[in-house]
Copies of this chain bind each other. A is one copy, B any other.
Amino acid sequence: MPESHRPDIRKLDLFSEMSDENFQSLMHASYLQTFPPQIELITEGDSSDFLHVVVDGSVELFARWNNRETSVAIVRPISTFILAATLRDAPNLMSARTLEKSRIVLIPSEDVRRIFDEDNNFARAIVCELASGYRASIKKTKDLKLRTSLERLANYLLRQQIREGGGPEFQLQTEKKRLASYLNMTPENLSRAFKSLKPYGVEVDGSKITISNQSDLEKFARPSPLIDDKKV
């Protein structure tokens, strides 16, 4: 793999504390590949041959069952995905597709597992990463089970607002179709849900959102650190 992205990858919590030697060994075994949009990188059920690192573009993780499909996460640079399957040498539980032209580093799972065995700092970092991912997944379950779709949307908007800097105006970084699937609703319903949030001060213009009444929206959404906070 060429060296250009190594410093950025090295900065990830997952890789920042491991020995130089082991990091270089991991990178040496990896491939950097560029994929066009809409390529299915992984199909659920496949064995997990590579730990993936998105260095450019974006990747959707989704799942299928019985002819239905749902969006589980959207991965943006720079982050890894499919770590748990890699470590357990188990089949991937989710499929992955590029949303746009994307550059992905593929680290062979064997090497990840080998260096996990050798490098204690790497093993510790993996524990942190897994614990975070696990907790994020629990939060998602709480969001799904405890909130109506309208409440999920309202809280999503507040989270997205923070990610985008906290101002009253920001962009949805996702097609509404995909956002609907992520929030477990139909596109039609999402469209209606946006209208239902208008009385609470949510204005929608294409993918531009304006929160014209922050406190009203927050009073409706009731965000909780135990569901919505990135940290914690």
Which chain A residues have a beta carbon within 8 Å of chain B's beta carbons?
44-45, 63-66, 68, 70, 72, 83-85, 87-88, 90-91, 93-94, 116-117, 120, 123-124, 126-128, 130-135, 137-142, 144-147, 151, 184, 222, 224-227, 232
CA–CA, A133 and B128, complex, Å: 14
Oligomeric state, in copies:
2
Q: How far is the CB of A51 from chain B (nearest CB, A)?
A: 12
Chain B minimum-CB-distance residue to A133: B134
Closest chain-B Cβ to A161's Cβ sits at a distance in Å of: 20
Q: Are B130 and A131 in contact (CB under 8 A)?
A: yes
On whether A145 and B93 interact (CB within 8 A), knowing A130-B130, A134-B133, the answer reads no
Given A72-B138, A130-B134, answer yes or no on A45-B226 (Cβ-Cβ < 8 Å). Answer: yes
Chain B residues with CB below 8 A from A132, complex form: 88
Q: Which residues of B contact A224 (CB under 8 A)?
A: 65
Q: Which residues of B contact A120 (CB under 8 A)?
A: 120, 123
Known A65-B146, A123-B124: A84·B141 in contact at CB below 8 Å? no
Top-3 shortest CB links A-B: A137-B137, A130-B130, A65-B146
A142 with B93, Cβ < 8 A, contacts A116-B127, A126-B127 known: yes
Taking a contact as CB atoms under 8 Å apart, the answer to whether A227 and B128 are in contact is no
Supposing A123-B123, A124-B123, A232-B91 touch, asked if A135 and B85 sit within 8 A by C-beta, the answer is: yes
The CA of A93 and the CA of B65, in the complex, are separated in Å by 28
Residue numbers in B under 8 Å from A88 (CB-CB): 128, 131-132, 135
Please tell me if the beta carbons of A145 and B226 are within 8 angstroms of each other in the complex: no
State which of B72, B126, B232 has its C-beta within 8 Å of the C-beta of A141: B72
CB distance from A75 to the nearest CB of B (A): 14
* A142-B222 in contact (CB<8A): no
Instruction: List B contacts of A93 (CB < 8 A).
Output: 135, 138-139, 142, 226
Across the interface, name the chain B residue whose C-beta is closest to A221: B66
Within the complex, the shortest CB–CB distance from A218 to chain B, in Å, comes to 13
Q: List 6 A-B contacts (CB under 8 A).
A: A45-B226, A84-B135, A87-B128, A87-B131, A91-B226, A93-B135
**Measured between C-beta atoms, what is the minimum distance from A65 to chain B in Å?**
4
What is the bound-complex CA distance between A151 and B68, given in angstroms? 13
